[in-house]
Each structure stands twice: as structure tokens, then as C-alpha cells.
Structure 1
Amino acid sequence: MAPSVRAQEFLGKINSGTLPPAPVTITPKKETKKKTNPEKKMIVGKKTIKLVGERMSVAILPFQNKGASKDLGEIILDKMITALFNQERFKVIERSQLDKIIEEQQLGMSGILDASTAAELGKGLGVDAIIIGSVAATKSGSISIDARAIDTESATIIIAHDAYSGSADALSVKNTVENLANKFTQSLPLVEGTVIQVNPDGKILLDGGRMAGLKKGLKCIIYKEGRELRHPITGEVLGKDTIIIGEVLVTESLEKFSTAKIIKKSEGQIVALGDKFLTK
């Protein structure tokens, strides 16, 4: 059987070398995702602060009742002590110590409501700040709590906060008091930094200001870091030796730095440029 005309034409093109090239098929290259090296990931967590010295010591006075029952004021006082203690930010004075000095000085509720009297009471307890406040109740059953922290040295208010609850049941009161305690802790954060200047007149400059949470009237521990402490067997660095220089009082807080003055100093120690500080 003779080939068809089209077949003859095709064979002729092959023999003459004029056959068009076969179409080129391009297979798209699969895009491979870059593998992320887990070792290079940045892990952002809570900043760890080295705790040096004692924390700010506070005492909480009985809350003044404004339309609330005496029992409610007592309950709020006890829960406030517990809530602040659980914050692990303050050194909270036990209520039994507070009751004892109130009895010794023969102070009733009417005698400890003003800031100056509260500050004197705080000095007697040896605390840095004393918290006073009031609790008000409405006929609808809602309650509001107002509280102020007073510096025992100057009798000035450091911070003041309030909290509100639409109900006076046990769980609502507990949550309201814990909310109030959180506000106090957030307003008085632990701030650490460096001494950036020491003037001949004793004025000290700290590299933390309002942006960092430093406020006028706060006290800071000044310390030096010494040699590294290593485990004798594993060689692991456990930390650094710490030498406490003393305490300073923040006298002025600007945006990015603060000024302070020395109020307590360890024997034989001086505050120097580069020393560390941490709020009480």
C-alpha cells in the first residue's frame, strides 16, 4: 500500500531537514519554602529582674465604711492584704502587727484617716508606705473602693486607685479587691537601671524616668555587681556577687531619667558611676 500524500510530504521534510522543531515543554519549578532554623528564632518573654535588697514594705489600715457594713470593710481589708501579698511585689505587714500598734497608740478609725496621722503610724511600723481608703455601698448592692498609698517619710500620696463592683457577693468582692491590688502593682513596677551621673552635691542621676515607671517619692536600692559565681562541679554561671551600696529617694522624675538623693548608705561604700539600681 502506497503512503498517502500527507505522509509523503512529511517524509520529504524529514529527509530535507526542514521539519520544524518539536515544541519545548517547560515544567514549572516547584517553589520550595525556606526552612526556618528554630535555633535562630527570637524568643521574647518576660524580662527577668534580679531582686536585690528588700521590696517596698506596706501596711494596710482598716477601710473607712461609707454606707457599707463593718463586716464588709473588714473583709476588704483582709482580702487586700492577701491580694497584695500574692502579687509578690511588696513586703506586706501582717494584720496582727497593725492591730497591736493601733491599740498601743489608742487610735480609732476616726483618728487614722488623714494622711499625716497614717504616715506617723507607718513610721511606728517601720514601713515605706501605708495604704488607707474607704468602701462605699449603695442601696442597689454595688460597692466602690478608694485606696491611696502614702509615703511615711513625707506624708504625700504616692498613688491612688479605685475599683467598682455591681454586687457585694463574696466572689465579686474578691475579684474587685484583686483588681485594685493589680492597679497598685502596675503603678509601682520593679524598675532597674544604671547610675549615669554622681554630682559633687550628692545628686544622683538614674537612667530611668516616667517612661520606665519611676515616680517621685520612690526608693531605690543602689548596688554593685561583683565576680561571677560558678558551680564548682558543672561550671555553670549561677549569678553574680552583689554588694549593696545603700538607698536613694527619687526627688524628680523626667521622661527618660530621674534625680535622686542618698537616704541610707552602707558603711565604707560610695555611690559611683555605673552602679546598678532597683526600685524597692
Structure 2
Amino acid sequence: MNPTNPYRNTGLIFSLYLPVISSCLILSLGIFDGKQANADEIKKVIQSNNYSLNLKSATKEKVRIAILDFDFSSVSNPNLLSVLQGGSKGVSDMLVNRLVKNGNFVVLERSQIEAILREQNLGDSGRVDAGTAAQIGRILGVEAVIIGSVTQFDIQQRRSGGGFLGFGASSSDTDAYVKLNIRVVNTTTSEILFVAEGNGNDSQSDTQVSVLGFGGGASTSNEGRLLTKATEKAIDQVITELNNKSTDLASLPKTLPSVDAAVADATGNTVILNKGKSDGYRVGMKISIERVTKQVKDPTTGKVIRNITQKLGMIELVEVDATSSVGKIITGGKFKVGDIAKPTQ
């Protein structure tokens, strides 16, 4: 419940208690076809009147996003990137890992993004703009793409102190500064939905004392650690902004998966596919089931370049996990293992 808006979840609470209310009404009547109502009969009535509770539909589906590698063209000292694990890809990797742990979004794996970039020759010309990002996102089957820039990635050092008659003390301060910004792009319209900025810094102080030329104290330098911590702080600020917008992002029009599935099992009215949430399949999606009737091959290489298919019918997905989907037949039938399943809406 949201303490600032006690009525926000009224609809959800009502849907949760609707089966109970229905049962109470039936019990109060005490009549079911002239007999005393019992638990099995009440259950049948509730199911027949579509009062079955569906918790999946009560929860908004998470938005699917892809995160492209950050741009470092504005950084004053690119050599510092070598101290960050992963180099220039380290920042985007850190953002991906944090968002996955956060759990508010479905984040596409880097391997899928890199495969599309290689296949389509996208992003090789340099900085990716909103139009190119949207094109990449549509191919990947995500609703939003995050493109970002690191505008500051610096180490600054300050030294102070002095000595007198062989006695002295000196101190050094090392500061790491990281600033980054992101743009979230709607893959349907190529519109930049919003921007967010993150700033992070981390510091280390060392002191040395010398007596008659002999010194003691600490003097260390760990630029990689400082820059990593500063980057994590900047990313945390960006994630806070993303979380604040997660509800708005979840309402974006859903894109169709770019990968066709195959029928893994067809028994009665139930069809199981070999693709699931990781490929963009979701509950309620309509899938066209088709059978390959002819394969067209490249005459020079012998590779299949096109499948000619015959439409057999349509299913609607009712259950989806990470790697598979379950659908119910709404038209057609006689599906077989290996038939192609193409998302249509």
C-alpha cells in the first residue's frame, strides 16, 4: 500500500477479494440447483463466471530495455579508462548488473546486443543517436534503449605540508570524479523519453611525518578503486531516476519479439513454445502457427534464404517463463512439433 495514497490499490484489493465475496453471496443464498451449496459447487460457479484470480495480470509487466555502451568522447584523459575493470565497457556493464539486481526492469544480455550490432553493422560509425538506438531496440524487441555518455572521469591530487629543523609533515589527497548522463529512447517513436544525470566522487587521504630525514606514515595510490567507487555512486543516482520512471516506462507499447519460436509440444488445446520472456514473449500475446511448405536456397551457397509457410492457426499465450511459453488454441489446430510460431500482436 502507498501511505501517501491509500486508495491507489483499491482496484487490486477488490480483485483479490472478489472470489471471497462471490463465495459469501452464494453461501448466503444457500441454494445451488435446489441443494445446499458445498465447496466444490461454489468453486465451479466461481470458475464458470470467470472469477478466478490471476495474479500475473494484476501486476504490471516489466519494461524490456537494452543498454548500449557508454560514449567517452568528452573525457579529458581517456588513459584513465584502463584502470576501470572492463575499460570503456565497464560503466555500461556496471549499470546492467545493478539494474538486473534491482529487479524493476528486464535487461537484455550484452551478447544479444553485440550480435545484432555485428549483424546489422550498427553503431560502428561512432556515437549512437536516438534514431539508431531506436532501430537497434526494434530489432532486439525491447521497448526502450538507454544510451549514455561519461562526461567526467578524472583523478585530482593535492599535496600540502612542510618542515622545520628536520621535522616535517606532509599530506596528500586523491579525489576521483565521475559524471555521466543517460537518455532513454522510445523504440517505437525514436523519442527521447527523459534524461538522467549521475555524479559520484570518492577520496583518499595519506599523511607522512619525517623526523631528521626519516619518515613514517601512509602513502598509497589506488586510482582504480577510487574511480570504481565514484562510478558506482554516479550509477546509483541514475538508477534512482530510472526507478522513479519505471511505472511510466512499463506503460510503453509492447514491441513484438524479433525471434520466431518453434512448437516444442502440442497436446490437446495446449501448445508449448521454445521461447519465453528472455526473447520478449509475454502473457496475452497472439502467435501465428505456421508450417514450412518449401525452402528457398541460395544457388551459390546452398543456404536457406527463405521459408515458404502455410498458416495453420493462432494461439494466445497464457503462461510464460524465461525460456518457454504455453499457449491455448484460439483458431485452427493440428499443430506439430517443429512448426514455426510467429508473434503477431
Normalised to the residue count of structure 1, the TM-score between the two structures is: 0.49
Larger RCO, structure (CA 8 Å, separation 6 or more) = 1
**Larger radius of gyration between Structure 1 and Structure 2:** 1
Normalised to the residue count of structure 2, the TM-score between the two structures is: 0.41
